[in-house]
Amino acid sequence: MDAAREMLREAAAVACLTGAGVSAESGVPTFREAQTGLWARFDPERLASPQGFAADPGLVWRWYMERLTGVEKALPNRGHLALAQMGQRWPGFRLITQNVDDLHERAGCADVIHLHGRIAHFHCNRCGTVYRLQAEDRRASQPPRCAACGGAVRPSVVWFGEGLPTDALAAATDAVIHCDLLLVVGTSGLVYPAAGLPATAKRAGSRVIEINPEPGPLSPLADICLRGPSGEMLPQLLGT
């Protein structure tokens, strides 16, 4: 931890890539953990894909309403709050997340780069018109219909087989190329192109600190691995 704190102190430009692990201590399930992960209990192809939505829009809609309720009940944890403090101490700090929850924003982070969209945002699956969720939609058994074209409304998250928002991916790539320290927090490093960002940072000369209780495919890239929960490691890293 001392070497990591020194590396952070020496950094001129810091960026951070987070995954579901940063929200785990807030009670938001991750995706791939054997017992608690979302994918351990559900088939992602059936629930988080255009094919799954076309086959059973009601099932997918109800699943996302349940996940949205869980996110809204969750509170930012000490890891989210520590990252928000970094934004105040490093003016050029850039936060990139794979998460679709808004816990970074609720902790006080600004300009969060959401690579995989946001679960509380919605748009028409046919014409793309942005949709504002109504109270009655939360209990509905089917997705609402678009007022402009009658298409089904969906959450504005990236589904399997879909591309990432080009502006978000460009901003994330720019952030990791121009940082000299990248924190990689709470991600299994299995889903590309997000998982390719740490290698891009290394090629550009950045150092990498991984924060994760478990080793993973990104660990060999890291200059330092802090093996513990981000809710404990990030405050310690900041000395808060």
Residues 6+ apart with CB under 8 A from 170: none
Site for ligand OAD in 137-196 (CB under 6 A): 158, 186-188, 190-191
Site for ligand OAD in 191-220 (CB under 6 A): 191, 211-214, 216
Q: Determine if 64 is a binding residue for ligand OAD (CB under 6 A).
A: no
Q: Determine if 23 is a binding residue for ligand OAD (CB under 6 A).
A: no
Q: Determine if 17 is a binding residue for ligand OAD (CB under 6 A).
A: no
Which candidate, 77, 99, 81, places its Cα nearest to that of 20? Answer: 99
Nearer to ligand OAD, 158 or 175 (CB): 158
Among positions 8, 15, 30, 62, the unique one binding ligand OAD when judged by CB under 6 A: 30
Nearer to ligand OAD, 14 or 38 (CB): 38
Nearer to ligand OAD, 69 or 150 (CB): 69
Pair of tokens at residue 151: 């298409």
To ligand OAD, the closest distance from the beta carbon of 1 in angstroms equals 15
d(CA 129, CA 148): 7
Distance set, CA 190 to CA 19, 145, 196 (Å): 11, 34, 9
Say whether 116 is catalytic. Answer: yes
Candidates 31-39, 61-69, 85-93, 148-156 — which segment interacts with ligand OAD by CB under 6 A?
31-39
Among the listed residues 116, 121, 123, 178, the single catalytic one is 116
Contacts of 138-144 with CB under 8 Å at 24 or more apart are 138/65, 138/68, 138/69, 139/65, 140/61, 140/65, 141/58, 141/61, 141/62, 142/57, 142/58, 142/61, 143/57, 143/58, 143/60, 143/61
Site for ligand OAD in 103-132 (CB under 6 A): 116
Which candidate, 154, 153, 156, places its Cα nearest to that of 117? Answer: 156
Q: Taking a C-beta distance cutoff of 8 angstroms, is the pair 143, 113 a contact?
A: no
Nearer to ligand OAD, 165 or 216 (CB): 216
Residues that bind ligand OAD (CB under 6 A): 19-21, 24-25, 30-33, 37, 48, 98, 116, 158, 186-188, 190-191, 211-214, 216, 229-231
